[in-house]
Amino acid sequence: MTNNMNIQNNNEVFTYEEAIDLVKKEVERSLTKSPLIIREYLTHLSRSQGKFIRAVSVITCAEDKECKIHPSAVLVAAAIEILHLASLVHDDVIDNADIRRGKATLQKKYGKRTAVICGDYLLSLALKKITDISNRKDYLEIGLPDYIAKLCLGELNQHINNRNLNLSIFQYLKIISGKTAALFEASFYAGAVIAGCTQKEAKKYRLLGNYIGMIFQLSDDCIDFDTTVEEANKPVQSDYEQGVITLPLIHALQENENFKEKAANAGVTREEINEEVTRTEGLTFTKMIIQKYHNKAMQRLGELELAECKKARLVSILNKASRIAEVQ
């Protein structure tokens, strides 16, 4: 099993496959070798790991022209993945969610108070991992605490606008630019900085990460309407029940004032929401917005000088986020 010291003492750069494997091992080690008092809870989380798409983003963007990766990228990727996990633990408490990635959530299995404390611990663990980087002064410009602040403010903005039937498209896009896109932006920007990109280049990576983060959330909005629990490995048909107004429903509310008035006065059922979103083509509208962000992302990709291996991996991340086969 690897550790921070071994990663940083290795003078050799890593291949993409080696770096991803090291990130997964680093996250696993951080969770399962945590202090005894919290180990049981974090080990439970380790059994339901996600697809590491943010970590993959860091590693991919950190590739140099020979598609090799500096060891620092592994620790930054692990830190961002742990930070994402912390946000999910807190989200599940807020949403009272029972399952996440096919497993019982921490709050369901151990209670809300335990889950909140574990989420806080994970946040501290992510920041500690960043400070453990031997050459961390080289990466101060990444500004991870600023991105954490964006994430928190995005979550708060969403909470403040719970059940706000007057939420505009612009307001909603601003919310998700914080609660979801911020960590993608941080992942792409961090990788670019580690790769030694110029500030001009790093800005393009940052924009690319933002677009992909927006796509990721908008695609997730669609999943709530057109995917089963078994397929999604998490609750679906539940955003409105949690007070969250997403883009397909915002479009339906804007298209039909009578429906909006009924929702405000008498309330509407999930069946009525589904019918109205279908009638007003809310999913089609949302996928159109996804396509616009996809086009912007492809434009940014075209502006970067990339090795073929790196370009292919970035396009793969983009397509996975957007479920592009359904958009085109």
Give the separation between CA 327 and CA 134, rounded to whole angstroms.
43
pLDDT at 1 over 70: no
Residues 71 and 132 both lie in one domain? yes
Residues 68 and 212 both lie in one domain? no
Q: Which range has the worst mean pLDDT, 67-71, 117-121, 127-131, 133-137?
A: 133-137
Residues 130 and 154 both lie in one domain? no
Give the separation between CA 202 and CA 78, rounded to whole angstroms.
20
Placement of tokens 């990788």 in the chain: 191
Q: State the total domains in the chain.
A: 2
pLDDT tens, residue by residue, 212-250: 999 999 999 998 887 655 555 555 567 888 889 999 999
Which of the listed residues 139, 174, 209 is the one where a domain comes to its end?
Answer: 139
Residues 161 and 304 both lie in one domain? yes
Note down the domain range covering 217: 143-328
- Sign of the alpha-carbon dihedral angle for 266, 272, 273, 279: negative
Burial label, 5 (beta-carbon count in 10 A; 0-12, 13-18, 19+): exposed
Residues 190 and 317 both lie in one domain? yes
At residue 166, the 3 state secondary structure works out as coil
Give the separation between CA 172 and CA 158, rounded to whole angstroms.
8
Are the C-beta atoms of residues 246 and 277 closer than 8 Å to each other? no
pLDDT tens, residue by residue, 149-194: 999 999 999 999 999 999 999 999 999 999 999 999 999 999 999 9
* Strand intervals (E) in 161-291: none
Residues 107 and 234 both lie in one domain? no
Residues 161 and 131 both lie in one domain? no
Look at residue 253 in the predicted model and tell me its pLDDT.
97
Look at residue 240 in the predicted model and tell me its pLDDT.
83
Give the separation between CA 198 and CA 285, rounded to whole angstroms.
37
- Beta strand 99-100 with 103-104 is antiparallel
Look at residue 237 in the predicted model and tell me its pLDDT.
66
Look at residue 233 in the predicted model and tell me its pLDDT.
53
User: Per the structure block, which two tokens stand in for 255?
Assistant: 């298209």
pLDDT at 139 over 60: yes
Residues 206 and 283 both lie in one domain? yes
Residues 113 and 168 both lie in one domain? no
Residues 5 and 88 both lie in one domain? yes
pLDDT tens, residue by residue, 276-309: 999 999 999 999 999 999 999 999 999 999 999 9
pLDDT at 15 over 70: yes
Residues 48 and 174 both lie in one domain? no
Which of the listed residues 109, 139, 169 is the one where a domain comes to its end?
Answer: 139
Residues 157 and 36 both lie in one domain? no
List phi, psi (to 5°) of 291.
Answer: -60, -35
Which of the listed residues 139, 168, 183 is the one where a domain comes to its end?
Answer: 139
Calculate the average pLDDT of the chain: 90
The CATH number that applies at residue 106 is 1.10.600.10
